[in-house]
Amino acid sequence: MLFRSLQYSLFISRTLFEGNRITQQIHGNLDAIPENENVDEKNVTERFFGLAGAEVSSYCGDKNEFLGSYHGYGNPEGIVCGDLGDKTSYNENSCGALSCKITLKAGETRTIAFLLGMKPSSEAAEVIRCYENPAPTVAEELEALKADWNSKLDNLKVSTPSPEFDTMINTWNAYNCFMTFIWSRAASFIYCGLRNGYGYRDTVQDIQGIIHLAPEMALEKIRFMLSAQVNNGGGLPLVKFTHTPGKEDTPDDASYVQETGHPAYRADDALWLFPTVYKYISETGNTAFLDEVIPFANKDEATVYEHLKRAVAFSLNHLGPHGMPAGLYADWNDCLRLGANGESSFVALQFYYAMTILKIFAEYKKDTEYVQYLEETQKAFGEKVQELCWDNDRFVRGYTESGERIGEAAAPEANMWLNPQSWAVISGLASPEQGDAALNNVYERLNTKYGAILMDPPYHAHAFDGALAVIYNQGTKENSGIFSQSQGWLILAEALRGHGERAFTYFMENSPAAQNDCAEIRRLEPYCYGQFTEGKASKHFGRSHVHWLTGTASTVMVGCVEGILGMRPDFGGLRIAPSIPADWDQFTIEKDFRGKHLHIVVENPEHVQSGCKALYVNEEKMEDNYIPVEKMTDQTKVRLVMA
């Protein structure tokens, strides 16, 4: 399929040259039809590579011509010979290359600007004209760019004994969060080029990573994703770029399935809304958002609160034979197809957590009857999950629709899974004893020097029909690879249990900033997360893949900020509950919170991993480790002493 797609792409592409720019056209043969009309939902798309501040001396729009025979990226023929050949492409691999000739007098300097943009040719010309005098324009724009990023990144700054932790939280993890927030999994040079929309679960999760940095940006995207929820409570598996709330087809419609390639609802999509909405309201104090009316994807509209109630109803209306949420098309793991009537423990734990959050919202709204309903439903459901999924020292992964139990200790393969253990703690379902036993099992069975593998042993000879991970080599992706996104949940789970050493260990094992001494093994940029790292069953153990295209930035940010740093806001204020390495004597946090600035100093004189001896706010001692928002001032000094 990938081969066919690349072949197809070859024959819809061509490059043109005009004056000071190369334009690449996709579907250029459709230039005769009006802009507002499409053929097979397609029209001309153009992007450009231009030059400002000098005249173009030669150009090339054909990659093979630019590289030349027996040449490569290290010595392209167009560079070696000094002339790009003035070639364009038609049914070839496109590129954009421009050259210019500049004569400088002694001591003279000159600035030129190369510009790359996704604009039609008519607009590209105007963009390039804005850079006729490049030096002051570029300088001004660079300062504006710095100011824009500082306005986002300065909302949380940490200074800890770990330079790796600081550089990731302060800069690179945050930057990665904004990139995935903007793009979700909508674009990838590795997988599929430009997709036809946003994945529901992916996008809602990505929002979480920037809430503490840019809550208004987060709010806009939360509204968008709520408008992509179907009125039955489920989420659209794929939200089209042309999404029109109130007018969309759904997986119940053959037209949606044909257009998107998604044949059914997924069990987990709408459940990601609960932690995301809760984190936003807790960070901002915007409880009025619960009453904001937002349309559903297909028809009708309702308050945010009602949207979330319908998400709970969706799960309750789609239960498997044991009474846990049905697997439907898939849960988070797309390579684990338990069947439409299979049951996922991961989704069951998400659902349990969702009811906890919705109960907080219901209590705030004084929806007494619904609070009682949730309490009774959650209690009965929790007992059921405990009975069905706890297996001595671990939580199983679920049940196939034929009743086979996946992830039990007696299974010859895949008898220990990562995500149910971390989510049992995050959800609050596991008892402290169960949580510690499950996490100990993870550390002993799944942990490696590059992070925890997704499950063990890999699938090979005993995979059930829905275990699609078996198609991958052992130690790769979902087949016992180190799935980076899951590391964030593991960091958070260990931190919630007060295990600071392990939480930080998991951060360091998978952190790009901590792997500069093994770049030849990792083979990925030192500043961004990859989707997965090859696990111990692979002969390339430690090699990472698929940069940027991952929800890791968000889950690790949440794990580090809420877990290791212990920044846990709620409706009334901020709880500070660090889980750190015992050898950290002290660290500081600069945090903007609801229009106030908090300067937080955490002292650890007894070298513990967690716990609070005393908390002072502007030198006033608090009752515990909680700061009510009314105690905060414009410049709030906070000192927490651990013990």
Measured CA to CA, the distance from residue 33 to residue 634 in angstroms comes to 58
Q: Taking CA 242 as the corner, what is the angle to CA 239 and CA 246, rounded to the nearest 5 degrees?
A: 75
| Residue ranges with strand state E in 498-613 | 530-533, 544-547, 567-570, 573-576, 586-593, 596-603
Answer positive or negative: Cα dihedral of 284, 288, 290, 292. negative
Measured CA to CA, the distance from residue 80 to residue 89 in angstroms comes to 21
Q: Mind telling me the catalytic residues?
A: 334
Measured CA to CA, the distance from residue 573 to residue 577 in angstroms comes to 13
Measured CA to CA, the distance from residue 347 to residue 358 in angstroms comes to 16
For the chain, the helix, strand and coil percentages under 3-state DSSP, each to the nearest 5? 40, 20, 40
Helix (H) or strand (E) holding 114: strand 113-117
Q: In this structure, which amino acid lies at residue 355?
A: M
| 3 state SS of 570 | strand
Measured CA to CA, the distance from residue 415 to residue 407 in angstroms comes to 4
Do 503 and 443 form a contact (C-beta atoms < 8 A)?
A: no
DSSP summary character for residue 390 = B
Measured CA to CA, the distance from residue 343 to residue 349 in angstroms comes to 11
Taking every pair of Cα atoms in the chain, the longest distance, rounded to a whole number of angstroms, is 83
Q: Which residue has the tokens 């040079």?
A: 189
Pairing of strands 596-603, 635-641: parallel
| 3 state SS of 328 | strand
Measured CA to CA, the distance from residue 354 to residue 336 in angstroms comes to 22
Measured CA to CA, the distance from residue 175 to residue 168 in angstroms comes to 9
Measured CA to CA, the distance from residue 331 to residue 308 in angstroms comes to 19
Q: Which of 272, 362, 267 is nearest to 309 (CA)?
A: 362
Measured CA to CA, the distance from residue 306 to residue 87 in angstroms comes to 59
